[in-house]
Chains A and B, each alone.
Chain A
């Protein structure tokens, strides 16, 4: 078993790792727990990020507004098939507390190819054995939300995801955000997109060169990532297009380089269960600090 999966298994519920650490325990034990979590999650320090407004290109592009993001931890890797299998085998598709009431009627349809609960691409509630370390796909936005809730985490929102993916150059005194985690120039060797030629998902720890400076992998490419953010597009003065959740980062089949930028925003219907959409989780730093003292700058950057 890889260190990655070991750590993830140990820290199944991220908040409990720290929250369960009582004041009686030694600070060494707390540090140990924190270290374990930091192997699977990276701290994103607080700061601002410029969100591009959701608009159609034909419309005049409004000015980007800076959004303040508080410090948070984000998964270094997208959730894998192996990790999601634990959620399925624990019977979480039957635990209605995890699912919002409006989606109860649909949960019965969240089945795999054999009609059993699980992602669309699985069979008999099991992922393909040769793709255990690939990102889980074939799950809708509600399934991603339920998984995150089960772990005591949640999905990042648009500002958080972008803060994690686009780093500032700081050149010429300008706080210009990079177009990709590695820089401004697109490079198909650093992300699994259409021009990389893989043609399908790859394990979540591939394309190491494309990870962020603090070690978050595949924010660009491999799979789009569901966000806890509605994708709303102003259609005309009186009308907004709704019903979609935002997705970010592009996938193995994303064709245009411009659509693999960290700032590019897209969306899918909430019940969409495509083969190129996965997710990763995050947790706010202040949620972790409820029962324990954490250093603010543990391994950021």
Chain B
């Protein structure tokens, strides 16, 4: 016999927009599988148009939080022919934290590694010229350590796996200074991440040799401190991330290289234990919107 509870459950049943697992809107605020906010799925359900996911990935310290926060703030202001509308108050947390911190001349706190503590972003981005073509920038402000662990041991973080699998566009952030100064490790990380992405987007065995059509933007961040990257991202990547570049050429049908920075001047200070703190003196965003713009164009072509 079907109880009232059963009917209520059927009525509030939804498919999580990130992991595609069933969730029931029963007062919990996150999907029990991937920890994405239920509000996010409800918004897309109400809208009636499937979500087009774009995600932002990068190693720990690559600048994901600052990049995302600034991107959302710029989209909200409606600039450079690209606009964005945040969906839900949960979506404003990253923006709020980033802007508040930068105005007080500090960088936001490091993101926690537990997925249930990640702030999620859902912003509908669209061009003012073509308002009907919309993209859902849906991504958690994930911890780079978690991504690194997922690359080492797949399925450790289902959130990341689901997100990458269901994304129609990906931005990969690299700290340009670290790429320049820290030897080959960043390049190796880049190749590992691309291998992971391609494994989730590869076609069947017959078409394995075909290139993956997922648009991937390689974004060099913090280029205010690395003018070589700011002036010629292509050359910089070829020189400092040769493996990543080679992989992109061989395996991706659509990729682009971008240089981005948020801060205009940074002061560095060391405490007595040698730990360095960076102080952002003023903010002058560059190249923040372009990667998303490019991904939107590629998605539209597809």
Contact = CB atoms under 8 A, between A and B. Distances in A.
A256 B284 CA distance: 8
Contacts of B283: 254-256, 259
A255 B269 contact: no
B104 A253 contact: no
B24 interface: no
B260 to A, nearest CB: 13
Given A244-B267, A276-B264, A266 B281 contact: yes
A258 B103 contact: yes
Contacts of B281: 266-267
Nearest to A113: B231
Interface string A188-199: 000000110100
B75 to A, nearest CB: 13
B105 A56 contact: yes
A58 interface: yes
Interface in A264-290: 264, 266-268, 272, 274, 276
B17 to A, nearest CB: 31
Interface in B285-299: 285-286
A62 interface: no
B198 interface: no
Contact of B269 (A241, A250, A276): A241
A272 B266 CA distance: 12
Q: Range of interface residues on chain B?
A: 20 to 34
B184 interface: no
Given A56-B105, A58-B104, A267-B281, A253 B286 contact: yes
Nearest to A254: B284
Nearest to B285: A255
Nearest to B263: A255
Contacts of A186: none
B128 to A, nearest CB: 13
A101 interface: no
B284 A251 contact: yes
Nearest to A247: B265
Contacts of A239: 269
Given A57-B104, A267-B265, A253 B279 contact: no
Interface residues of A, number: 28
B192 interface: no
A178 interface: no
A104 interface: no
B281 to A, nearest CB: 5
Interface in B221-270: 264-265, 267-269
Contacts of B264: 251, 253-254, 266, 274, 276
A4 interface: no
From B271, B281, B282, B283, residue with most partner A Cβ within 10 Å:
B282
Contacts of B210: none
A256 B106 contact: no
B284 A266 contact: no
Nearest to A274: B264
Interface in B78-110: 79, 102-106
Interface in A207-239: 233, 235-236, 239
Contacts of B279: 56, 233, 241
Given A56-B279, A239-B269, A267-B265, A194 B285 contact: yes
Nearest to A120: B227
Given A253-B264, A267-B265, A57 B284 contact: no
Given A56-B105, A56-B106, A56-B279, A266 B265 contact: yes
Nearest to A251: B284
14 contacts: A57-B103, A57-B104, A197-B79, A233-B279, A235-B269, A239-B269, A244-B267, A251-B264, A256-B102, A258-B103, A259-B282, A266-B281, A267-B267, A268-B265
Lowest 4 CB-CB distances: which A-B pairs, in order?
A: A57-B104, A253-B284, A255-B283, A266-B282
Given A267-B281, A276-B264, 8 more contacts: A58-B106, A241-B267, A255-B284, A256-B103, A256-B283, A259-B282, A266-B282, A267-B265
